[in-house]
Amino acid sequence: MKAHLPGADFTGANLTGTNFHGAFLERAILNGQSLLGQSIESANLKDAFLGGTDLSGANLRDTNLQGADLRGAILHQADLQGASLVKTQVEGADFTGALVHGISVWGMKGTPKRQEGLLITPKNESAVIVDDLAVAQLFYLLLDREKIKNVIDTVTRRGVLLLGRFGDGGLALLQALAGWLRKPENGGSLPLLFDFPRPESKTYTDTIRTLAGLARFVIVELSGPSVPQEITATVDLYEIPFVPILEQKREDWSMFRDFLVKERVLEPIRFTNHDHLLEILAEEAIVPAERLIEKRQQRLDKIFGRA
């Protein structure tokens, strides 16, 4: 029978040899325990406290560690295949040599003390090793050509890059726009909103170029101070529609009109407020952009044939 011990406090207990396979240990306190090589496979350790716990060689396959506290924990050569470390606290933890195929690390908090020699491939495949948990799942995806093709196809079919100002209410406008685009009744697009720090090895312009290359089309709010650089850096690189929008009380970038000679750059859509923009967005922005995409696709099909 699988143990059902939510919130249990194991402080001072001797857990050597205990089998926690499939156990329900949500919010359990296991700080400082020694669980070397033990089976904790498929257990629920959501929001559990494992600070300083020695899990070297432990079987944590398919274990739910979402929101758990692993600060200072030792997971040397632990089997974490398929484990969920979503929003898990990992400050100072040691993941050296861990098996991390299929791991999920979205929103992971803190920086591990060590994460060298992470094995991202299953045991029955040629070993591929990386030294960073945050890139392990992405790197494996890149190795699987069919999966990465599917991801890129999905993003390029649904991605909409949103550019514009962030100050003076601009971010709220772009977020409202993103929320509208996500709704299934509006097409279920995938908004790409660049609101994060610049990657250390890239400039902001490089990042915008990368995102534009993934997008189906671009919606750009023209009053943003970075807009001239963003448009100049991208509009000639990709054969995708650019849909400019502008609040009526704001001034646009005067040189933008030079880009209107390109068929895929639409006339600016004027709006009075957020609600007004969302009311007219489908008819004045999405429909014309999709019409341009379809026209280009027909041209491509004629030239290369449909695969």
Q: What does the pLDDT average to over 165-189?
A: 87
pLDDT, position 277: 94
Q: What does the pLDDT average to over 65-81?
A: 96
Residue 149's pLDDT band, with cuts at 50, 70 and 90, is low
Could you say which DSSP state residue 67 is in?
T
pLDDT, position 253: 79
pLDDT, position 58: 94
Could you say which DSSP state residue 31 is in?
T
C-alpha closest to that of 270 among 255, 286, 249: 249
Residues contacting residue 74 through CB under 8 Å, at least 6 positions apart? 53, 54, 55, 56, 93, 94
Per-residue pLDDT tens for 10-62? 988 888 888 899 999 999 999 999 999 899 999 999 999 999 999 999 999 99
DSSP 256-286: GGGGGGSTTBPPPEEESSHHHHHHHHIIIII
List, in order of start, the domains of the chain with CATH numbers: 1-143 (2.160.20), 150-304 (3.40.50.450)
Q: Are 38 and 56 in contact (CB under 8 A)?
A: no
Task: Name the token pair of 13.
Answer: 């207990």
pLDDT, position 129: 81
pTM of structure: 0.58
- Rounded CA-CA distance 75/60 in Å is 10
Per-residue pLDDT tens for 216-251? 999 999 988 888 888 888 888 888 999 999 999 888
Q: What does the pLDDT average to over 156-171?
A: 84
Per-residue pLDDT tens for 255-292? 888 999 999 999 999 999 999 999 999 999 999 999 99
The rounded mean pLDDT for the chain is 87
pLDDT, position 252: 78
- Rounded CA-CA distance 98/57 in Å is 8
Q: Which amino acid is at 218?
A: V
pLDDT, position 306: 63
Dihedral pair phi/psi, residue 81, rounded to 5°: -60, 125
Give the Cα-Cα-Cα angle 199, 77, 141 (nearest 5 degrees).
45
Parallel, antiparallel, or unpaired for β 190-193 and 159-163?
parallel
Percentage above 70 pLDDT, the chain: 91
Residue bearing tokens 């880009």 = 259
Asked if residue 293 has pLDDT above 80, the reply is yes
Asked if residue 147 has pLDDT above 70, the reply is no
Residues contacting residue 68 through CB under 8 Å, at least 6 positions apart? 45, 46, 47, 48, 49, 50, 85, 88, 89
pLDDT, position 212: 85
Asked if residue 72 has pLDDT above 70, the reply is yes
- Rounded CA-CA distance 115/129 in Å is 11
Q: What does the pLDDT average to over 81-106?
A: 93
Q: Where are the alpha helices (DSSP H) in 159-286?
A: 170-182, 204-214, 227-234, 274-281
Asked if residue 101 has pLDDT above 80, the reply is yes
Residue 142's pLDDT band, with cuts at 50, 70 and 90, is low
pLDDT, position 217: 94
Task: Name the token pair of 307.
Answer: 């695969």
Percentage above 90 pLDDT, the chain: 46
